[in-house]
């Protein structure tokens, strides 16, 4: 390859390389030729050699040796060489390079050049790689060009001023007077730059907000002109007149109208006009509508206008473009906290997004469904009663309690809020058993969050350990509590033993009381918990740690029904084992399971059930049903001693749930009577 090879030929040869090594060889040889050209001085090939070096730089190869050549070409009087020199400076130089300071004087001279194209090169370079020192030196020149009569230069100068403000915020005051006057320009490029400049000034210096809020009527008129203007080939994009300028104006209006009633009132009519007259069938129209929605929601807008904005987002959810559906879901998440009822109208559409094939949309929707659709979790204060215990009181379906618990576990950001609200509901009333069960479960799992008293969503209330234990003891001792509810309360009390510090002895005393309870289920739990306190105290923290997120099909409680259809475990799946149990000797495990005590005999497998029914166990009664879909609940007996010689009786209530109205065997009925 000869040194005189043209750029196009060099590109062709590099692209024809068959291996990475062959490409590196070509690049190395060409870079050596470029270095030789740079050393020869001004021979007419310097700009051409730098152009080839810039292509090498674009391919990712070192090109730092061309930095000084950029400085030389920028100082050249020829426009063709200046153009390549400035392009090289933007690509090879930054504020960390010492060579960048060498072009400051050249840029200053070119800003006063008679040619607008040379001025443009200097402005673009300063806006791209100007350091803080360069910005301080050249800021007066930029402010002068903002008042130039040439729209081409004025547009470049506004963007350069934005870069200076970002680099040196204290220079913002220098451009404030000129920025307001730029709004009177008719050129769309200048208007676009002016809006960007004013936005930057307002974001970096809030003190200028009051000054630029006076320009809201001008911005509204500009926006109305864009919305109602006739077709303009120069600015039309998919039927929308200059959507880029419209988006920029809407963003600036959002900043100016935030927490300001006067500015918000001045733009309410405009926003309604844009929201109703913009075609959303094209991407350009959707972009304008999206910015309109964000502006409506961020200013002090009217309620009807906010409903209109939510409806626009609802239409976005039906769009075929997955990107539009994604950003719509993000916006709805922000709106639901202030306009919950308006969002509820679109809950069906939101749920349909869960079926989207795009995993990002599905995942984003899944994180929003609880807060957007299920008001039980987002507005727990107002509707916790309707979710867990509706007008029918405690007569809710068996799966209500585990389903609500499953929803709560999946919303980690609402755990603190939920436990606070449920604790207050528990202290206020304990007659609604499903609500009490969920409250006890949450207190047991998230009691540490309750005791911290730090919850942003509600007024902070300090709850002590004694307060929480008093509430759980009230549930345990109340005549209104069902055996299942007492089980929830006892388990919650036990779990608090690993979440509190000062009342562990009180918890141990509460648990020990129920070790002799007449209710066998409660007694069994108490005996197991006592064993954790005594023999297996070193395992207590691991056994009682916080429950993981429950799956939708996880087995749950049945609202107190301890019987029902017993499914055999799947032999293909391993049985869950507590982490701490694997390290214990087998005899200790057997002792833990030996709840009745009094024997040192290792546990033996249960014998196979016989076909002869007995009357000693309520579970044997279920064997008589022959696989029928029937649930049986044995209430507590009226006494634990049967008087001799038939002088008295002990009664026990049997609750039979037969949803399918199946006919029951006579043998079963007789067995129930014999019990």
Is residue 665 predicted with pLDDT exceeding 60? no
The last residue of a domain, from among 69, 93, 117: 93
Cα distance between residue 91 and residue 63, in whole Å: 10
Highest mean pLDDT of the ranges 5-9, 323-327, 376-380: 5-9
Total number of domains constituting the chain: 2
- Kindly report which listed range (430-434, 532-536, 583-587) carries the lowest average pLDDT score: 583-587
pLDDT of residue 415: 86
Q: Answer yes or no: is pLDDT of 121 > 80.
A: yes
> Phi/psi of residue 354, each to 5°?
-65, -20
- Angle between the N-to-C axes of helices 104-111 and 132-146, in degrees from 0 to 180, rounded to the nearest 10: 0
- Boundary of a domain, candidates 486, 511, 544: 544
In the predicted structure, residue 158 carries a pLDDT above the cut 60: yes
Residue 502 in any domain: the answer is yes
Question: Using one digit for the tens of pLDDT, what is the confidence trace for 585-603?
Answer: 434 434 433 433 444 444 4
The C-alpha angle with vertex 477 and arms to 472 and 481, in degrees rounded to 5, equals 85
Q: Compute the distance between CA of residue 384 and CA of residue 422 in angstroms, rounded to an integer.
A: 8
The three-point CA angle 122-126-132 to 5° equals 145
CA 296 to CA 253: how far, in whole Å?
A: 10
* 301 domain-assigned: no
**CA 296, CA 305: separation in Å to the nearest integer?**
7
Looking at residue 649, the DSSP 8-state letter turns out to be -
| 300/575 Cα distance (integer angstroms) | 58
In this model, does residue 529 exceed pLDDT 50? yes
Angle 541-542-543 (CA atoms, 0-180°, nearest 5)?
A: 95
Mean pLDDT, the chain, integer: 75
Query: Which range has the top average pLDDT, 344-353, 357-366, 510-519, 665-674?
Result: 510-519
Give pLDDT, residue 440.
93
Cα end-to-end span (Å), the chain: 105
For 50-76, the pLDDT digits (tens) are: 888 888 888 888 888 888 888 888 888
Which three-class secondary structure state does DSSP give residue 175?
Answer: helix
In a domain, 485, yes or no: yes
Asked whether residue 601 is assigned to any structural domain, the reply reads no
pLDDT band at 42 (very low <50, low <70, confident <90, very high): low
In a domain, 245, yes or no: no
At residue 572, does pLDDT exceed 80? Answer: no
Mean pLDDT over residues 224-241, rounded?
80
Is residue 429 domain-resident? yes
| pTM (whole model) above 0.85 | no
Sign of CA dihedral 219, 220, 222, 223: positive
Q: Which of the residue ranges 166-170, 332-336, 448-452, 574-578 would you say has the lowest mean pLDDT?
A: 574-578
pLDDT for residue 672: 46
pLDDT in the model for residue 303 = 77
Of the residues 544, 575, 597, the one at which a domain ends: 544
Domain hosting 531: range is 395-544
What are the beta bridge partners of residue 481?
Answer: none
442: in domain: yes
Does 158 reside within a domain? no
pLDDT of amino acid 358: 57
- Residue 629 banded pLDDT, cuts 50, 70, 90: low
Q: 């068959």: which residue's tokens?
A: 18
pLDDT digits (tens, 9 = 90+) for 442-499: 999 998 888 887 776 666 678 888 888 999 999 998 888 888 999 999 999 999 998 8
The C-alpha atoms of residue 357 and residue 318 are separated, in whole angstroms, by 14
Q: How far apart are CA 396 and CA 482, in angstroms?
A: 14
Residue with tokens 């405009």: 270
Average pLDDT over residues 167-185: 87
Query: Is residue 580 predicted with pLDDT exceeding 60?
Result: no
The pLDDT assigned to 409 comes to 85
């Amino acid at each position: 390859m000869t040194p005189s090879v043209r750029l196009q030929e060099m590109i062709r040869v590099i692209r024809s390389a068959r291996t990475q090594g062959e490409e590196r060889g070509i690049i190395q040889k060409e870079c050596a030729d470029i270095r030789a050209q740079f050393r020869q001085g001004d021979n007419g090939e310097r700009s051409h050699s730098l152009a080839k070096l810039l292509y090498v730089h674009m391919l990712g190869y070192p090109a730092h040796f061309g930095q000084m050549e950029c400085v030389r070409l920028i100082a050249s009087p020829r426009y063709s060489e200046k153009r390549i020199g400035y392009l090289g400076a933007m690509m090879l130089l930054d504020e960390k390079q010492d060579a960048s300071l060498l072009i400051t004087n050249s840029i200053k001279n070119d800003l006063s050049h008679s040619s607008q194209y040379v001025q443009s090169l200097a402005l673009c370079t300063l806006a791209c790689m100007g350091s803080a020192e360069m910005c301080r030196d050249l800021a007066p020149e930029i402010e002068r060009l903002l008042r130039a009569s040439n729209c081409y230069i004025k547009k470049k100068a506004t963007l350069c001023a934005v870069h200076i403000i970002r680099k040196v915020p204290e220079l913002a005051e220098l451009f404030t007077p000129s920025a307001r006057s730029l709004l009177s320009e008719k050129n769309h490029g200048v208007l676009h730059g002016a809006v960007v400049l004013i936005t930057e000034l307002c974001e970096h210096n809030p003190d200028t907000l009051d000054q630029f809020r006076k320009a809201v009527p001008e911005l509204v008129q500009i926006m109305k002109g864009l919305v109602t203007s006739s077709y303009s080939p120069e600015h039309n994009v998919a039927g929308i007149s200059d959507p880029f300028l419209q988006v920029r104006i809407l963003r600036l209006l959002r900043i100016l109208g935030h927490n300001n009633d006067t500015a918000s009132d001045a733009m309410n009519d405009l926003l309604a006009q844009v929201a109703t007259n913009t075609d959303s069938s094209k991407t350009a129209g959707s972009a304008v509508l999206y910015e309109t929605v964000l502006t409506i929601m961020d200013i002090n807008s009217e309620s009807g206008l906010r409903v209109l904005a939510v409806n626009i987002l609802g239409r976005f959810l039906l769009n075929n473009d997955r990107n539009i559906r994604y950003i719509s879901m993000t916006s709805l998440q922000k709106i639901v906290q202030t306009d919950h009822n308006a969002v509820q109208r679109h809950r069906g559409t939101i749920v349909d997004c869960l079926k989207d094939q795009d995993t990002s949309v599905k995942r984003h929707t899944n994180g929003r469904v609880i807060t957007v659709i299920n008001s039980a979790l987002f507005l727990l204060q107002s509707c916790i009663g309707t979710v867990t215990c509706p007008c029918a009181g405690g007569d809710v379906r068996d799966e209500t309690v585990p389903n609500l618990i499953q929803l709560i576990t999946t919303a980690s950001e609402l755990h603190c809020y939920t436990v606070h609200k449920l604790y207050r509901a528990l202290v206020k009333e304990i007659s609604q058993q499903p609500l009490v069960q969920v409250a006890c479960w949450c207190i047991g799992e998230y009691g540490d969050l309750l005791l911290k008293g730090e919850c942003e969503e509600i007024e902070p209330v300090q709850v002590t350990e004694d307060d929480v234990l008093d509430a759980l003891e009230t549930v345990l001792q109340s005549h209104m509590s069902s055996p299942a509810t007492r089980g929830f309360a006892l388990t919650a009390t036990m779990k608090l033993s690993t979440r509190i510090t000062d009342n562990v002895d009180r918890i141990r005393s509460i648990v020990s009381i129920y070790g002799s309870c007449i209710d066998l289920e409660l007694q069994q739990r108490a005996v197991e918990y006592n064993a954790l306190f005594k023999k297996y105290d070193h395992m207590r923290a691991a056994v009682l740690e916080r429950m993981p997120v429950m799956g939708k099909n996880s087995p749950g409680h049945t609202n107190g029904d301890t019987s029902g259809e017993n499914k055999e475990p799947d032999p293909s799946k391993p049985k869950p084992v507590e982490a701490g149990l694997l390290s214990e000797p087998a005899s200790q495990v057997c002792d833990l399971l030996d709840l009745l005590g009094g024997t040192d005999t290792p546990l033996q497998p249960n014998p196979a059930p016989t076909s002869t029914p007995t009357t000693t166990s309520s579970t044997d009664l279920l064997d008589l049903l022959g696989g029928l879909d029937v649930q049986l609940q044995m209430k507590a007996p009226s006494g634990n001693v049967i008087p001799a010689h038939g002088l008295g009786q002990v009664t026990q209530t049997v609750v039979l749930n037969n949803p399918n109205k199946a006919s029951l065997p006579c043998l079963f009925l007789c067995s129930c009577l014999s019990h």
